[in-house]
Amino acid sequence: MQLPHGLVVAVVDGEILNLYSNTGDERQPKLSAFELGPIDGDNKSSGARHSSSSANPDESRQEEDSFAAAVAAKLNQQALAGAFESLFVIATPKTLGELRKHYHKALEAKLLGELAKDLTGHSVADIEAALAKAN
């Protein structure tokens, strides 16, 4: 995948958000750390439909969904403010599903792609390789 200069790559799971920006060009991408500011993960209304049961024994699911909603809210805010021109999201499948529920139209317009994969904690080289395979 060709990564335009300035592309923001969000790597997300239920607890961690890592952001990168392509500071290189389309032929020689170089991902560098990118900051959007703090994430307020106190959106307890997101995930309220999930209850603890044998099918969903993890009681932290609500916190994970709240974090995903907060990440989407922050990305929406930044998309509306013009903080980035394009975005690619890499997230765990559950987190990606929750993120999609909260995307604003302005964010969707800037979204170049998504990848349902857990890459939080991986190296920049691993993320660049995953992006190359996503095309």
pLDDT for the residue numbered 44: 47
CA count, 13 A, side-chain hemisphere, 106: 14
The whole model's pTM is what? 0.85
Considering the domain boundaries, does residue 53 fall inside one? no
pLDDT of the chain, 135 residues: tens digit per residue? 688 999 999 999 989 999 999 998 887 788 999 887 788 765 545 444 445 454 554 667 888 999 999 999 999 999 999 999 999 999 999 999 999 999 999 999 999 999 999 999 999 999 998 988 886
CATH number at residue 85: 3.30.420.60
Considering the domain boundaries, does residue 18 fall inside one? yes
Considering the domain boundaries, does residue 22 fall inside one? yes
Considering the domain boundaries, does residue 110 fall inside one? yes
Considering the domain boundaries, does residue 73 fall inside one? yes
Secondary structure of the chain in the HEC alphabet? CCCCCCCEEEEECCCCEEEEEECCCCCCCCEEECCCCCCCCCCCCCCCCCCCCCCCCCCCHHHHHHHHHHHHHHHHHHHHHCCCCCEEEEECHHHHHHHHHHCCHHHHHHEEEEEECCCCCCCHHHHHHHHHHCC
Considering the domain boundaries, does residue 2 fall inside one? no
Q: Where in the sequence is the domain holding 86, given as residue range(s)?
A: 8-42+63-133
**pLDDT tens sequence across 39-65:** 876 554 544 444 545 455 466 788 899
Amino acid at 91: A
Considering the domain boundaries, does residue 126 fall inside one? yes
pLDDT for the residue numbered 54: 47
> Which of 116-119's residues contact partners 24+ apart within 8 Å by CB, and which partners?
116/91, 116/92, 117/90, 117/91, 117/92, 118/13, 118/92, 119/11, 119/90
Considering the domain boundaries, does residue 98 fall inside one? yes
- Per the structure, the count of domains in the chain is 1
pLDDT for the residue numbered 48: 46
- And the tokens for 68? 């995903």
